[in-house]
Structure 1
Amino acid sequence: MTTTGTQARLERIGTDGNYVIVPMDHGITMGAVQGLKDIESTIDGVTRGGADAVLTQKGIAPRVHENKNGQGYIVHLNGSTTIGPDEQDKRMTGTVEEAIRAGADAVSFHINVGSDHEPDQITQLAEVTEAADRFGIPVLAMAYARGPGVDSEDAEALGHAVRLAEELGADLVKTGYSGDAESFQHVVESTRLPVVIAGGAKGTDRETIEMVRGVMDAGGSGVSMGRSIFQHENPEAIATAVSGVVHDDLSVDEALREAGLALEA
């Protein structure tokens, strides 16, 4: 059940029920890649551009607060690396109480539905939502369709993933994009939770904004988009364009134009 505290904190990481979240927990996964070495400047840029919240692992919290321009902060609670034996084997990296001590407004947890690690991750997500509920802390479940024989862009599989997140007590769910608004509508209709999409690997500006437009047209609630934003040559500008679609209902061309990005990009 959503408590007053949970609702209040959800409002700190979104605007009017829609969300532009920029995850930057990739340092644990990929190392200090472009956009994350000087994470302070990136956080400053994306929040100036219109991001409602940023997301990191707990240890980065001291680098976040002075640079987020009053926007929300989410602490991620599991992780893995690209150089380890199995990137899908996400292990616990923190607790809800640690996130609160780090100044978080919400926590997030990644689950690969369909992977060999799904059973352990189901158990852990259930434990996270139970702990978060005690403190009135919202949980963003990053629920992906990933595993042997699983199509990560299949709307049925994505719909199953987001429903699992609701069944386990999450307040907000992030998943992959099925490729178009028509198919993604099934994903959105599979849960009463607000659904936001991941960005994946960085594409062109137009591809990024078309994807954002698609999720909103399907009835989604925004994005939780990392590399497409923080690895952009101008993170503030692409955040402005994404925010324009999510919060101001701009068209693709309008969003690119208002952000000062080339329409042909």
Structure 2
Amino acid sequence: MNAGTQARLDRIGRDGRYVVVPMDHGITLGAVTGLKDIESTIDAVTRGGADSVLTQKGVAPRVHPNKNDAGYVVHLNASTVIGPDSNDKRMTGTVEEAIRVGADAVSLHLNVGSDSEPTQIEDLARVTETAERYGIPVLAMTYARGPGVDEHDAESLGHAVRLGEELGAHVVKTAYSGDAESFEHVVESTRLPVVIAGGSPAGDEATLKAVRGAMDAGAAGVSMGRSVFQHDDPEAITRAVSAVVHDDEGATEALERAGLSARV
């Protein structure tokens, strides 16, 4: 890994661990709770301890004044929930565009097992090749999704994260398999740092237990969107997640530390 890539990885994480808050959902879902006033949300989560935030390129002017020196990741593909196939992620930007809007890293979403998997594999290969020229880290969001695919099956998730490494990514994100024992296989399937997605909000306690289980299995952190930015108190839940990832707190202790022990 070249020096520039490593330096930028250090901007989106800390000591090899990552608390990333993606807020690119405006394309996918629209201006849902937490994204209308995205400036306030970005300010809250970065004050709460997020290492970096992630958006599409067009939102960059709303990010930089509010991110409190956190890192910035620009996402390069998307789809919508009202389109013909939400698994069919299409390119929305380039590495060069991400650099121009001040990104420290780029990310790309792949649905491994979907009908659109072949195109997304080609897209990631092109992105990593370009990113290497510029010293830009690539976060590959490799999910196991498609006809007949169990999105939480550890074998499928392990295949998905290995695909990210094989194509030249630097960090891989995937779903949590549900328990630490099965997630060990996912982490062991690659030498890259593995971070877990948050998925649909399931309550504070469930969120923190998933983070704790993933970390116990050897994960490197989280890339967690809706569970954070749609929370009643984004700063507090970010603080709790950060306590588990960076301070090795247990789920209950982290919730109490963030003042969220009564919220489940």
- TM-score range normalised by the length of the shorter chain: over 0.9
Counterpart of 2:28, as a letter, is T
Asked whether the 8 Å contact 1:78–1:91 carries over to 2, the reply is yes
Q: Is the 8 A contact 1:105 1:137 kept in 2?
A: yes
1:17 and 1:115 map into 2 onto residues whose CA distance is 31
> What's 1:175 paired with?
174
1:66 corresponds to 2:68: no
Give the C-alpha shift of residue 263 in structure 1: 4.5
Output one character per residue of 1:61-113: Cα deviation in whole Å (capped at 9) or x when no partner.
00000000000000000000000000001000000000000100000000000
- What is aligned with 2:42? 43
- Equivalent residue, structure 2, for 1:137: 136
Match of 1:222 in 2: 221
For structure 2, list consecutive stretches of 5 or more residues without a partner in the other structure: none
Q: Identity across aligned pairs (percent)? A: 74
Alpha-carbon distance in structure 2 between the residues aligned to 1:54 and 1:189:
26
State the AA in 2 paired with 1:130. Answer: E
Length-normalised TM-score, structure 1: 0.99
2:253 and 2:260 map into 1 onto residues whose CA distance is 10
In the superposition, the TM-score normalised over structure 2's length comes to 0.99
Secondary structure of 1:82's aligned partner = coil
Whole-Å separation in 1 of the counterparts to 2:165 and 2:63: 29
Amino acid paired to 2:225: G
Q: Secondary structure in 1 aligned to 2:190?
A: coil
Maintained 8 Å contact 2:203/2:263: no
Q: 1:158-204: CA deviations, max 9, x gaps?
A: 00000000000000000001000000000000000000000000111
2:158: which partner in 1?
Answer: 159
Give the aligned partner of residue 16 of structure 2. 17
Alignment partners' CA distance in 2, 1:123 and 1:202: 31
Q: Amino acid of the residue matched to residue 52 of structure 1?
A: D
Partner SS for 2:128:
helix
- Tell me if the contact between 1:25 and 1:56 (Cα under 8 Å) persists in the aligned partners: yes
Q: Which residue matches 1:99?
A: 98
Query: For residue 52 of structure 1, what is the aligned residue in structure 2?
Result: 51
> Is contact 2:155-2:185 (8 Å) kept?
yes
Shift in alpha-carbon separation, 1:7–1:147, aligned structure 2, 3 A: same
Q: Which residue does the alignment assign to 1:250?
A: 249
Code of the aligned partner of 1:93: T
Alpha-carbon spacing, 1:264–1:237, altered in 2? closer, same or farther (3 Å): closer
The one-letter code of the counterpart of 1:185 is E
4+ long deviations beyond 3 Å = none
Residues in 1 aligned to 2:107 and 2:124: alpha-carbon distance in whole angstroms: 9
Cα distance in 1 between the residues matched to 2:252 and 2:25: 30
Query: CA–CA distance in 2 between the matches of 1:79 and 1:101?
Result: 20
Give me the whole-angstrom Cα distance separating, in 2, the residues matched to 1:182 and 1:50. 28
